[in-house]
């Protein structure tokens, strides 16, 4: 009972202190708008030297899944983080209309497929420059002697250190060719990484990667040889009859697992629907019902202008309500969730506010 008699002036400092703690916790715990990107984030140190599972501006993930954030990545580029669920709607609409104006090169208040294609290529180039900058920093982290080359053994030491092994002990064991005593799962990861290391090592192979080769190791999408390797890996994982091609049924096959409830069924139905549309409209270029390695490579190549044009046409078609083959401000705002990952309300009224 006595605690109820504490004067308000005495409570104020305590309340302010508690409020500060709550706000700090909220800021650090608040989920990002692009949750799939957050899910892909892991241990920072490990991520610095491991090839990323997710590649910005590439249609498929390394495991063959569709990139859920692709349309936002090629439409927003570096501005993706500006569109958060808790952002002020009017401010987000204004930013979206600024982007619209940049895409609309001839300022006729509508976006053509050619304008969207040019924009996609620009945003893809942005992602490439980010990849180069990140790879350069990560290369320095695994090149301790600064000789401009990283050996496979140097990389292996750094990788195992991120898994909790003592760096000096691992280096000593490798030098003396002693058993590393690592678990089966880690050994399998190492073998896969070594295969990828060999692919990134330009002839003549010496198991030493330069900075540019290390970029190919981390980001195969920007190296023709590594992109082909990535395509082969995806086809190998999805190809059920061993013909090194993909049929529609192979491409849309559901992941291993059993549908246990309606929510799971809805997810699986969405999986099939999205992959079927992607296969038929974008990947299978000659529409013969079979995807070859060459077709999948063209589809996944982020700098392929023809694929960028097809993607531009598909993006416009999704929001083109008046069927005039152009994107207009009202349509972009109405389909803001597709373009930005955030649903911006009052889209019709806001067109007059922003223009």
The DSSP string of 211-243 is: HHHHHHHH-GGGSHHHHHHHHHHHHHHH-SSSS
The better pLDDT of the pair 79, 293 is held by 293
* DSSP summary character for residue 30: S
SS3 151: strand
Coil, strand, or helix at residue 354? helix
CA distance linking residue 224 with residue 228, whole number of Å: 6
Q: How far is CA 267 from the centre of its chain?
A: 20
Residue 6 has pLDDT above 60, yes or no: no
Return the residue matching tokens 């180069």: 132
Segment 8-28, tens digit of pLDDT: 444 444 444 444 444 444 433
Residue 23 lies in a domain: no
Confidence of residue 83 (pLDDT cuts 50, 70, 90): confident
Flag whether pLDDT at 354 surpasses 60. no
Question: Does the residue 177 lie in any domain?
Answer: yes
**pLDDT > 90: percent of the chain:** 66
pLDDT of 122 over the 70 cut: yes
Tell me what pLDDT residue 88 has.
78
Q: Is the peptide bond preceding residue 254 cis, with omega within 30 degrees of 0?
A: no
* DSSP-H helix ranges across the chain: 8-29, 35-40, 44-49, 70-76, 89-103, 113-142, 152-162, 167-175, 184-200, 211-218, 224-238, 248-252, 262-278, 293-300, 305-319, 329-334, 336-340, 347-354
Sign of CA dihedral 75, 267, 245, 277: negative
Among 76-85, 124-133, 145-154, 304-313, which stretch is predicted with the lowest mean pLDDT? 76-85
Section 336-348 average pLDDT: 73
> pLDDT at position 259, please?
47
pLDDT at residue 270 in the model: 86
Whether 282 has a pLDDT exceeding 90, the answer reads: yes
What integer pLDDT is reported at residue 311 of this predicted model? 94
In a domain, 228, yes or no: no
Distance of CA 58 to the CA centre of its chain: 7
Q: In which residue are the tokens 């974008």 written? A: 282
208 pLDDT exceeds 70?
yes
Q: What is the pLDDT of residue 89?
A: 80
Domain presence at residue 268: no
Alpha-carbon span 117 to 146, nearest angstrom: 41
90 CB-near residues (< 8 Å, 6+ apart)? 350, 353
pLDDT higher than threshold 60 for residue 352: no
Mean pLDDT over residues 81-86, rounded? 74
Q: What's the pLDDT at 91?
A: 86
pLDDT score for 36: 45
Instruction: State the pLDDT at residue 257.
Output: 52
In a domain, 175, yes or no: yes
Are 214 and 40 spatial neighbours (Cβ–Cβ below 8 Å)? Answer: no
- Residue 190 within any structural domain of the chain: yes
Q: In terms of Cα–Cα distance, which of 220, 244, 242 is closest to 293?
A: 244
Token reading at 104? 């609309």
Sign of CA dihedral 223, 124, 211, 141: negative
Q: Is the pLDDT of residue 318 over 60?
A: yes
Which region among 26-30, 151-155, 253-257 has the lowest average model confidence (pLDDT)? 26-30
Give per-residue pLDDT as tens, 41-66: 334 555 668 898 899 999 999 889 99
Question: Is residue 166, in this structure, part of any structural domain at all?
Answer: yes
pTM of the full structure: 0.77
Residue ranges making up the domain that contains 201: 146-220
Alpha-carbon distance of 48 to 252, in angstroms, equals 32
In contact, 167 and 142? CB cutoff 8 Å: no
**Does any domain span residue 31?**
no
pLDDT at position 35: 35
pLDDT reported for residue 205: 86
pLDDT tens readout for residues 93-103: 999 999 999 99
pLDDT score for 21: 40
The structural domain count of the chain equals: 1
Task: Give the separation between CA 232 and CA 237, rounded to whole angstroms.
Answer: 9
Calculate the dihedral angle through the C-alpha atoms of 213, 214, 218, 222, rounding to the nearest 10 degrees.
-30
């Amino acid at each position: 009972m006595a605690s109820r008699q504490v004067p308000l002036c005495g409570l104020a400092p305590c309340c302010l202190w508690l409020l500060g703690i709550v706000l700090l916790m909220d800021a650090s715990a608040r989920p990002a708008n692009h949750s799939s990107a957050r899910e892909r984030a892991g241990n920072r140190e490990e991520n610095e030297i491991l090839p990323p599972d997710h590649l910005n501006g590439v249609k498929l993930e390394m495991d063959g899944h569709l990139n859920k954030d692709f349309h936002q990545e090629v439409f927003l580029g570096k501005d993706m983080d500006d569109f958060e669920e808790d952002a002020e709607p009017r401010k987000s609409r204004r930013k979206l209309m600024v982007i619209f104006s940049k895409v609309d090169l001839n300022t006729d208040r509508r976006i053509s497929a050619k304008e969207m294609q040019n924009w996609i290529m620009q945003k893809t180039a942005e992602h490439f420059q980010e990849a180069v900058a990140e790879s350069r920093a990560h290369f320095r982290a695994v090149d301790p002697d600064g000789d401009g080359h990283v050996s496979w053994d140097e990389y292996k030491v750094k990788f195992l250190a991120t898994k909790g092994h003592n760096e000096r002990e691992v280096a000593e064991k490798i030098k003396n060719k002693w058993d590393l005593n690592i678990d089966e799962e880690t050994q399998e990861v190492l073998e896969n990484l070594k295969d990828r290391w060999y692919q990134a090592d330009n002839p003549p192979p010496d198991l030493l990667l330069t900075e540019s080769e290390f970029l190919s190791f981390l980001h195969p999408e920007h190296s023709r040889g590594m992109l082909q390797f990535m395509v082969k890996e995806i086809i190998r994982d999805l190809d059920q009859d061993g013909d090194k091609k993909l049929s529609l049924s192979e491409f849309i096959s559901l992941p291993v697992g059993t549908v246990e409830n309606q929510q799971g069924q809805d997810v699986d139905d969405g999986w099939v629907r999205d992959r079927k549309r992607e296969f038929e409209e974008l990947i299978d270029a000659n529409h013969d019902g079979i995807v070859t390695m060459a077709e999948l490579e063209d589809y996944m190549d982020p700098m392929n202008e023809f694929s960028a044009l097809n993607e531009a046409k598909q993006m416009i078609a999704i929001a083109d309500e008046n069927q005039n083959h152009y994107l207009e401000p009202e349509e972009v705002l109405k389909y803001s969730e597709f373009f930005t990952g955030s649903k911006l309300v009052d889209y019709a009224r806001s067109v007059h506010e922003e223009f």
